[in-house]
Structure 1
Amino acid sequence: MDWMTAEEKQFVNEVLAALKEYGVRLKEREKVKFQIVEHIQESHEHGTDALEELGGPEAFVKDYVEINEIDVHSRIKKTHLTKKESGRSILPALLASAVVYFMSQILFSLFLTEAFNPLRSNDFEYNLLYRISGNSWWNSLLVLVSIGIAVLAGVLIQTMNKRKMGA
């Protein structure tokens, strides 16, 4: 696309942004972009003005929406619904983060501390949430690692959910 003029690049970007607002999927937008770029390239080869042939970005998008029979009103409703459902979509990530945090704290308690060692007496108050070791710096390190693992797991699950939903 380095050979395109600034106006042509702007046209392509405006069309893609408008199609995204209408809820057109990424693969379809990529196809439209390819077709527009191909048309512009052919127009350059024939010495014609591609933007004049295509019209404005608004007209192009309007024609695309009409040809592909995209219901603008239902797309707008779906957009509002997906915004409402976005609060629900974060719930699995939060639950997974909490489970991963507790699991890592349990594993750290079992294998990296002496909290469950029956041969040693614990002179500290054990708490799975924040106090798994009697040594404060070791406890802080283990809690921070658990938090990091939990956040990473939550982000991964959220990313997978968004990809699955096609957002």
Structure 2
Amino acid sequence: MRAVEADLQTVHRADASWTARRGVACAVLTADCLPALFCDRAGSRVAAAHAGWRGLAGGVLEATLDALEVGGDELLVWLGPAIGAEVFEVGGEVREAFIGTHSEAERAFVPSANAGRYIADIYQLARIRLAARGVTAVYGGGFCTFSDPRFYSYRRANPTGRFASLVWLE
């Protein structure tokens, strides 16, 4: 997972971006994946991360925290619209990817009616990973891109659009 500093001169391919420059926006495009927006309490740094299950399991939130170089207790994080905990069905390999690095992630999975499948709570998974790094001021969540027609959903309508989540310093 890669978090890069946002600038106006270069286009980067990364899972997250951050900046300490005023007037530079950090943005992510999502349809069912989790957008996470970060701001330090001093109002001097912001970041945006795209956290699908692979990115989340691969450490995109942790990479973003490392790039910001701010203690977890100094951050505010907002979790934007993503696929909800009632409909995000995944295979056992997804569950194992999370439990293998954070045993407490087990509580974010419930068995599905389909054998060998689980219903995952991507918001809870993100909160667990953020809490492990000392981030307690986490807001948002509780949306469902799949069941709420206000949002684009890759699983509900493919092809689909994307929506942007942005954060910047004024």
Q: Aligning the two structures, in what range does the TM-score lie when normalised by the shorter sequence?
A: under 0.3
Higher relative contact order (Cα pairs below 8 Å, separated by 6+ residues)? 2
The two structures have a TM-score, normalised by structure 1, of 0.21
Quick check: which one's helix share is greater? 1
The two structures have a TM-score, normalised by structure 2, of 0.20
Quick check: which one's strand share is greater? 2
